[in-house]
A = this chain, B = another copy of it.
Amino acid sequence: MSRRGMATRTRTKTHRTERRTDALSRERIIAAAIELLDSGGENALTVRALAAHLATGSGAIYWHVADKGELLAAATDAVIARAMGGIVSGAKPREAIRAVARGVFDAIDVHPWVGAQLFREPWRPAMLEIIESVGGRLQALGVPQAAQFDSASALVHYILGVAGQNAANARSHVAGMDRSTFLASVAAQWEELDPAKYPFVRQMAPQLRDHDDRAQFLAGVDLILAGIKTVR
């Protein structure tokens, strides 16, 4: 736990949020962490780099934040909350669910490290936000009580799986390649597989080469929604 977390939060009447303009704060630290993660990928976030970016020392950071894990979790929660907040909820439930899925996908597209973190620590505010956004609309869709839990679970786990895939792809991109050359190289590997052992994968190679991640992701959501409709 951060030392600040243990200290009393109560202040005397003259409570001012900022002591000076350049004061360190949990919020500034999280914002700086997001900057580092966005620009340099997952292992660009080191305590030393963070301290340098904020012109301070590691000790000061650990006063506001318990450890690196909490920092990553907080950064992820912030990104997901922002993404979920932007969803317009007026539409029909089916469209709303697609909008939520699209929102998560796009957020992870911009911040790939979020995908890895969602995966590493589910059972966190960020995931709660997603479950609620999806599940609430399932109820509105008229999915019977008994099927709601499994249906929401299927959708959320699917979203989680795609999240992981995207994060992994982004790691490959950091290593130099851009998306299309990377996919082309994987497709090339697929095409050189033994036709006797991997007939299906070989057939999929050309489609892998020039498919649209986002469209395929949404196609999967539609597939699951179609499945859910059958038990309705």
Query: Which one of A6-14, A44-52, A70-78, A119-127 is at the interface?
Result: A119-127
Interface bin, chain A: 35 or more
> Is A136 interfacial (CB 8 A cutoff)?
yes
Segment at the B interface, from A17-25, A60-68, A90-98, A153-161: A153-161
A110 at the interface (CB under 8 A from B): no
Copies of the polypeptide in the assembly: 2
What 1/0 mask marks residues of chain A from 158 to 173 whose CB sits below 8 Å from any chain B CB?
1111111100100010
How far is it, in angstroms, between the C-alpha of A190 and the C-alpha of B152 when the chains are bound?
15
Chain B residues with CB under 8 Å of A204's CB are 131, 135, 148-149, 152
- Given the interface pairs A132-B200, A157-B165, A161-B160, the reply to whether A150 lies near B223 with Cβ below 8 Å is yes
Distance, CA A200 to CA B198, complexed state (A): 43
User: Which B residue sits closest to A162, measured CB to CB?
Assistant: B157
Q: Among residues 186 to 227 in chain A, which have CB atoms less than 8 Å away from a CB atom of chain B?
A: 186, 190, 193, 197-201, 203-204, 207-208, 211, 216, 219-220, 222-227
**Cross-chain contact of A224 among B168, B227, B229 (Cβ < 8 A):** B227
**In the bound complex, CA of A201 to CA of B152 (Å):** 10
- The A71-114 residues at the B interface (CB cut-off 8 A) are none
Known: A122-B164, A204-B135. Is A157-B154 also a contact (CB below 8 A)? no
Q: Are B165 and A160 in contact (CB under 8 A)?
A: yes
Given known contacts A131-B200, A201-B135, A168 and B223 CB-to-CB distance under 8 angstroms: no
Is A136 touching B200 in the complex (CB atoms < 8 A)?
yes
Least CB separation from A225: chain B residue: B227
**Chain B residue with Cβ nearest A168:** B122
Q: Which residues of A contact B (CB under 8 A)?
A: 116, 119-123, 128, 131-132, 135-136, 138-139, 148-154, 156-165, 168, 172, 186, 190, 193, 197-201, 203-204, 207-208, 211, 216, 219-220, 222-231
Given A136-B199, A158-B224, A227-B230, 6 new contacts (CB under 8 A): A128-B190, A136-B200, A157-B158, A160-B160, A160-B164, A224-B224
Q: Show 14 residue pairs from A and B whose CB-CB distance is below 8 angstroms, ordered by the A residue.
A: A119-B164, A120-B168, A122-B168, A123-B186, A131-B204, A132-B199, A149-B204, A150-B220, A157-B220, A158-B158, A164-B164, A223-B227, A226-B230, A227-B230
